């Protein structure tokens, strides 16, 4: 079976190989207990960092998928040159920030200026499922607003495609 070496686990792999080598060298009496302890501590730190990197990688992948879904909900088209806001649904400040109405990246998960037009569109749909979105807005929590928008759009899309 072939395993894919993802970007987050290359340092861990190297540290794991070093730790295994240190264990072997310790068993052969080449290195002392302190050197083995250092190698195992390095491995522990690498595992912790690898876990953090993996979580970040998964979140970024999820954000990319969710941002694409949000863009389509907003009428922003995926083209060969980027995401094209042909209907100018995004505010002028976003167009200025991005240097026009074609975007290489989507920042709904990081920028209020990107997220608020989506919130407005969600709240003006005829769906009555605004409870979570309203709560998140009242708490002024951007991450929760983003999650509520994603949840709302998924439910809205599912309802309208049936």
pLDDT exceeds cutoff 60 at 8: no
CA distance 74 to 121: 8
pLDDT recorded at residue 60: 66
Extents of the domains making up the chain: 8-61
Confidence of residue 6 (pLDDT cuts 50, 70, 90): very low
CB 8 within 8 A of CB 53: yes
Task: Please give the distance of CA 19 from its chain centroid, rounded to a whole number.
Answer: 31
CA distance 107 to 18: 39
Nearest to 118 by CA among 160, 66, 79: 66
CA distance 88 to 57: 31
Confidence of residue 5 (pLDDT cuts 50, 70, 90): very low
- pLDDT > 70 in the chain, percent: 86
pLDDT recorded at residue 3: 40
């Amino acid at each position: 079976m072939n395993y894919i070496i993802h970007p987050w686990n290359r340092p861990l792999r190297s540290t794991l190989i070093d730790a295994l080598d240190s264990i072997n060298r310790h068993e052969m009496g080449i290195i002392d207990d302190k050197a083995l302890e250092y190698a195992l501590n390095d491995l522990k730190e690498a595992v912790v960092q690898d876990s953090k990197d993996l979580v970040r990688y998964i979140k970024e992948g999820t954000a990319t998928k969710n941002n694409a879904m949000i863009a389509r909900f907003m009428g922003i088209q995926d083209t060969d040159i980027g995401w094209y806001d042909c209907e100018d649904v995004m505010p002028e400040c976003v167009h200025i920030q991005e240097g026009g109405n074609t975007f290489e990246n989507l920042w709904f998960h990081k920028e209020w200026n990107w997220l608020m037009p989506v919130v407005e569109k969600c709240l003006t749909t005829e769906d009555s499922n605004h409870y979570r979105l309203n709560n998140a807005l009242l708490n002024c929590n951007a991450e929760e607003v983003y999650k509520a928008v994603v949840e709302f759009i998924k439910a809205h899309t599912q309802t309208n495609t049936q």
